């Protein structure tokens, strides 16, 4: 409501009250004084002079200090659904009308052809244990089939895939091998390809992109170093403009000195994307001496570059290593985009991160989680203890429900957000939310899968399909912006300024060099902001009292979840405003508060993605328990994090004030119930349509080397085998007609006793053989486990002992 409308509304109400109402004279006077104050506020000159201008002075002091790198990060990308959640009244029509992500025939053919074939070729144990690398034929296949060129346009020889197709490829690959998925993810994410596409000169594009597309060049991108990790803007690596000899003649070039580590693909890269600070102390290029962070492309064999050694990232030996450069002299045309992009490096990186972060890690994490759910559902069914499938125990079922629910959330978020990117968005705040939550949920799924599998998950070897994924989780948590920092600083910090309908306008007005214009703009934004805050406080209170029952949302079987998102959105927007107005720049230091508000925002975002995904899938009835589990757990988390935010809010009377508007009836929202979880588990323990949809897109082909396919095959057979086992137990073991202790012996006796027919005995024997093969783990000779030279020592010691 605008100030003018509010004043008229108040005046009308007051007149009615004065005419009909009861109350003391003093009370009436107070109300009329408020009206007078409101009327005065409507007079621009008075309002600006007595309210906005003095407040602007205080506001300028409260504004958090901001470096150029932070400003660049804030301005990167676009505002999408995240912006709606900041309004307190999201426009659902907008989200529901967005096109569902789709694969073209060509993209589908790639997934069913080269991608499927690649999965078939992969032997993850060979890669991770024996070879510590991809075998040469897989490297060749990746290059020749264009796996490194998914983002490169066709005119340069690339595949030019949609974001959704790119994501689906990573889902499939990561369900098979984390090393293969990481190797494919990096060239298609933030790196030379992406930077050249957006900022490269025509000459650079025409030279490099076809070579990258054909796999003739392998790229890496080097930003991080020993002194600059999370604070990447502080890299001490330099490129000093100077004269030097290059290819036999003296030119003005750049002398680089750098020390980088953790660089993916560096050991095998042929072209290095490098970030450094460009300095021109002798002003050879112009008036400036310090250009700031700049990006360049350096051929691997440039003199002074040392490259090739490897790090060993948690037994997932994708190519990753350090990179050093000592007095590397290169011409100016190595700068990506040429001299006009000198000093624009940070902006280039954060702009491209807003797309890449939505795809690489969220998709890889989703693929790994889907594989874990697919395997765990089958394993929990075929693994029997205490005469029943372990999945039937409530303790295990709780884990299975959580795993499946988390995976559904991840899948919904990555596919709907990829669809938005294909629709032209560059959603920077959702990118941070997806990166953080998908990898954290993958961590939770990985832990749960381990517990469901017991010892089977722990003993590494070719038969173990969980161990390497479990080890890979911290890698995903750390790269592309480590998670603690992403949660504490980025999600809410960037969201609050970028997505809020008024904050950025206020900040821009406060920083406006033209003071007169600044104060006018500030006044407009401030009063819009105040109206917005009041309206959200009221909406929050009303929806908390009515449990959002009357809130307008799209009609569907899931409408209550839409309504609860509306409620939390109003509460969140109100809490955000109070926190920002009262704490100002101090909120940036209170990382725990900011992180919790970020959790509320993320929970609402993810729940919205779940609802949209369900809608995109045609709202299948049987998926409803999963959708409800996902929404309930997310919205419960939103409530709990809002509550914890209020408990820790440092200005206590304001915390009580906010609590009145947000939780007038206390915490009324409940986490998913056990019966709801059980409905999810029932579907995942059986070969159902829900199980298929929830794990769609993984590599599940039935073939000897693929445990996922074999597990599912056994799961299907369990439907026939279990009644036979039950008959043996009830008619044989309990009656004393069968005395054997193991299943093969029992089958033999059951056949002799006429409890099973020949065919039934054969079916059960076959099932038992398959199950035993799947639950077996590997064992090794000590010399097989010893690495490298030590292996020979162990062998010689053996010979000596003998």
Ligand X SMILES: Cc1cc2nc3c(=O)[nH]c(=O)nc-3n(C[C@H](O)[C@H](O)[C@H](O)COP(=O)(O)OP(=O)(O)OC[C@H]3O[C@@H](n4cnc5c(N)ncnc54)[C@H](O)[C@@H]3O)c2cc1C
Q: Does 485 bind ligand X (CB under 6 A)?
A: yes
Q: Does 313 bind ligand X (CB under 6 A)?
A: yes
Contacting residue, 52, 174, 264, 535, with ligand X by CB under 6 A: 264
What token pair was written down for 685? Answer: 């323990």
- Residue 482 C-beta: closest distance to ligand X, Å: 3
Which residue's structure tokens are 């689906």?
Answer: 168
- Residue 487 C-beta: closest distance to ligand X, Å: 8
DSSP code string of 308-321:
------TT---SEE
- Residue 425 C-beta: closest distance to ligand X, Å: 24
**CA distances (Å), 453 to each of 373, 393, 400, in order?**
11, 13, 11
In the complex with ligand X, which residue's Cβ is closer, 67 or 104?
Answer: 67
Q: Tell me if 150 sits within 8 A of 188, measured CB to CB.
A: yes
Euclidean distance between CA atoms 272 and 240, whole angstroms:
18
What token pair was written down for 166? Answer: 């790119």
Contacting residue, 188, 204, 320, 407, with ligand X by CB under 6 A: 320
Q: Does 223 bind ligand X (CB under 6 A)?
A: yes
Q: Tell me if 501 sits within 8 A of 82, measured CB to CB.
A: no
- Residue 358 C-beta: closest distance to ligand X, Å: 17
Q: Does 478 bind ligand X (CB under 6 A)?
A: yes
Instruction: Using CB under 6 A, count the residues that bind ligand X.
Output: 20
Residues in contact with 542: Cβ distance below 8 Å, sequence separation at least 6, in sequence order: none
Pairing of strands 249-264, 271-279: unpaired
In the complex with ligand X, which residue's Cβ is closer, 115 or 222?
Answer: 222
Euclidean distance between CA atoms 35 and 12, whole angstroms:
10
Q: Tell me if 322 sits within 8 A of 310, measured CB to CB.
A: no
Contacting residue, 591, 640, 713, 722, with ligand X by CB under 6 A: 591
In the complex with ligand X, which residue's Cβ is closer, 489 or 573?
Answer: 489
Q: Does 763 bind ligand X (CB under 6 A)?
A: no
Helix (H) or strand (E) holding 276: strand 271-279
Q: Does 489 bind ligand X (CB under 6 A)?
A: yes
Q: Does 221 bind ligand X (CB under 6 A)?
A: yes
Q: Does 132 bind ligand X (CB under 6 A)?
A: no
Q: Report the number of secondary-structure helices (H) and strands (E) in the chain.
A: 36, 9
Residues in contact with 660: Cβ distance below 8 Å, sequence separation at least 6, in sequence order: 541
Burial of 14 (0-12, 13-18, 19+ CB in 10 A): middle
With CB under 6 A as the contact rule, which of the stretches 471-479, 575-583, 639-647, 708-716 interacts with ligand X? 471-479
With CB under 6 A as the contact rule, which of the stretches 258-266, 292-300, 513-521, 681-689 interacts with ligand X? 258-266
With CB under 6 A as the contact rule, which of the stretches 58-66, 84-92, 480-488, 705-713 interacts with ligand X? 480-488
Which residue's structure tokens are 């000590």?
Answer: 782
- Residue 66 C-beta: closest distance to ligand X, Å: 14
Euclidean distance between CA atoms 734 and 288, whole angstroms:
90
Question: 257 forms bridges with which residues in the sheet?
Answer: 238
Q: Tell me if 648 sits within 8 A of 658, measured CB to CB.
A: no
With CB under 6 A as the contact rule, which of the stretches 109-117, 222-230, 427-435, 497-505 interacts with ligand X? 222-230
Q: Does 479 bind ligand X (CB under 6 A)?
A: yes
Active site residues: 480
Which residue's structure tokens are 């991108």?
Answer: 221
In the complex with ligand X, which residue's Cβ is closer, 479 or 685?
Answer: 479
Q: Which of 194, 278, 288, 281 is nearest to 235 (CA)?
A: 278
Contacting residue, 229, 462, 584, 709, with ligand X by CB under 6 A: 229
Q: Does 230 bind ligand X (CB under 6 A)?
A: yes
Q: Does 197 bind ligand X (CB under 6 A)?
A: no
Q: Does 471 bind ligand X (CB under 6 A)?
A: no
What token pair was written down for 49? Answer: 């002079």
Q: Does 476 bind ligand X (CB under 6 A)?
A: no
- Residue 199 C-beta: closest distance to ligand X, Å: 17
Q: Does 263 bind ligand X (CB under 6 A)?
A: yes
What token pair was written down for 347? Answer: 């902006």
Q: Does 608 bind ligand X (CB under 6 A)?
A: no
With CB under 6 A as the contact rule, which of the stretches 14-22, 86-94, 260-268, 682-690 interacts with ligand X? 260-268
Residues that bind ligand X (CB under 6 A): 221-224, 229-230, 262-264, 313, 320, 475, 478-479, 482, 484-485, 488-489, 591
């Amino acid at each position: 409501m605008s100030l003018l409308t509010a004043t008229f509304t108040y005046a009308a109400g007051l007149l009615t009250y004065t005419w009909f109402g009861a109350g003391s004279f003093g009370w009436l006077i107070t109300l009329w004084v408020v009206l007078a104050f409101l009327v005065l506020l409507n007079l621009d000159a008075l309002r600006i002079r007595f309210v906005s201008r003095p407040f602007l002075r205080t506001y300028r002091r409260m504004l958090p200090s901001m470096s150029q790198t932070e400003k660049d990060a804030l301005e990167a990308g676009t505002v999408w659904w995240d912006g709606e959640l900041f309004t307190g009244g999201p426009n659902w029509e907008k989200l529901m009308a967005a096109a569902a992500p789709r694969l073209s025939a060509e993209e589908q053919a790639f997934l069913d052809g080269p991608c499927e074939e690649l999965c078939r070729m992969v032997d993850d144990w060979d890669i991770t244990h024996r070879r510590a690398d991809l075998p040469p034929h897989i490297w060749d296949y990746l290059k020749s089939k264009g796996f490194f060129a998914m983002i490169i346009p066709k005119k340069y020889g690339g595949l030019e895939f949609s974001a959704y197709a790119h994501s689906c490829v990573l889902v499939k690959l990561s369900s098979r091998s984390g090393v293969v998925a990481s190797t494919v993810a990096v060239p298609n994410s933030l790196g030379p390809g992406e930077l050249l596409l957006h900022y490269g000169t025509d000459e650079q594009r025409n030279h490099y992109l076809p070579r990258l597309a054909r796999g003739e060049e392998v790229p890496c991108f080097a930003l991080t170093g020993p002194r600059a990790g999370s604070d990447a803007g502080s890299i001490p690596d330099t490129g000093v403009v100077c004269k030097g000899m290059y290819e036999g003649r003296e030119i003005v070039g750049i002398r680089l000195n750098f020390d980088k580590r953790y660089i993916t693909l560096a050991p095998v890269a042929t072209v290095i994307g490098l970030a450094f600070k460009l300095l021109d102390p002798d002003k050879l290029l112009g008036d400036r001496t310090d250009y700031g962070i700049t990006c360049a492309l350096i051929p691997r064999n440039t003199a002074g570059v040392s490259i090739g050694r490897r790090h060993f990232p948690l037994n997932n030996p994708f190519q990753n290593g350090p990179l050093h450069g000592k007095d590397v002299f290169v011409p100016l045309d190595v700068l990506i985009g040429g001299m006009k992009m000198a000093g624009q490096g940070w902006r280039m990186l954060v702009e491209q991160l807003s797309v890449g972060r939505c795809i690489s890690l969220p998709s890889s994490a989703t693929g790994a989680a889907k594989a874990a759910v697919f395997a765990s559902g089958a394993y929990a069914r075929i693994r029997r203890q205490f005469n029943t499938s372990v999945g039937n125990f409530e303790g295990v079922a709780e884990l299975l429900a959580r795993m499946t629910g988390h995976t559904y959330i991840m899948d919904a978020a990555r596919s709907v957000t990829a669809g938005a990117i294909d629709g032209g968005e560059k959603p920077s705040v959702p990118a941070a939310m997806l990166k953080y939550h998908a990898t954290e949920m993958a961590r939770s799924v990985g832990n749960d899968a381990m517990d469901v599998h017991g010892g089977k998950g722990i003993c590494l070897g070719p038969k173990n399909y969980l161990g390497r994924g479990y080890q890979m989780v911290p890698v995903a948590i750390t790269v592309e912006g480590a998670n603690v920092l992403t949660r504490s600083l980025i999600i809410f910090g960037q969201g609050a300024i970028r997505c809020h309908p008024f904050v950025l306008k206020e900040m821009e007005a406060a920083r406006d060099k033209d003071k007169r214009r600044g104060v006018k703009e500030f006044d407009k934004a401030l009063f819009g902001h105040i109206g917005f805050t009041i309206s959200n406080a009221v909406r929050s209170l009303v929806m908390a009292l009515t449990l959002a029952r009357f809130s307008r949302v799209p009609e569907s079987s899931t409408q209550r979840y839409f309504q609860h998102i509306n409620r939390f959105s109003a509460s969140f927007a109100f809490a955000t405003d109070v926190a920002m107005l009262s704490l100002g720049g101090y909120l940036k230091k209170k990382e725990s508060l900011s992180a919790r508000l970020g959790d509320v925002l993320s929970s609402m975002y993810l729940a919205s993605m779940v609802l949209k995904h369900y809608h995109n899938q045609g709202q299948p009835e049987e998926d409803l328990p999963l959708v409800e589990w996902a929404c309930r757990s997310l919205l419960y988390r939103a409530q709990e994090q809002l509550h914890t935010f209020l408990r820790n809010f440092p200005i206590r009377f304001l915390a009580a004030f906010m609590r009145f508007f947000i939780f007038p009836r206390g915490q009324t929202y409940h986490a998913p119930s056990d019966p709801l979880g059980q409905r999810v588990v029932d579907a995942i323990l059986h070969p159902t349509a829900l199980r298929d949809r929830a794990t769609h897109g993984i590599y599940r082909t039935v073939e000897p080397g693929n445990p996922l396919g074999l597990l599912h095959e056994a799961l299907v057979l369990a439907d026939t085998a279990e009644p036979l086992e039950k008959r043996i137990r009830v008619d044989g073991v309990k009656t004393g007609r069968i005395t054997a202790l193991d299943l093969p012996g029992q089958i033999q006796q059951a056949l002799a006793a006429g409890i099973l027919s020949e065919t039934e005995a054969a079916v059960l024997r076959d099932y038992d053989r398959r199950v035993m093969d799947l639950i077996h783990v590997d064992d090794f000779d000590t010399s097989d486990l010893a690495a490298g030279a030590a292996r020979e020592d162990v062998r010689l010691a053996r010979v000596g002992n003998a």
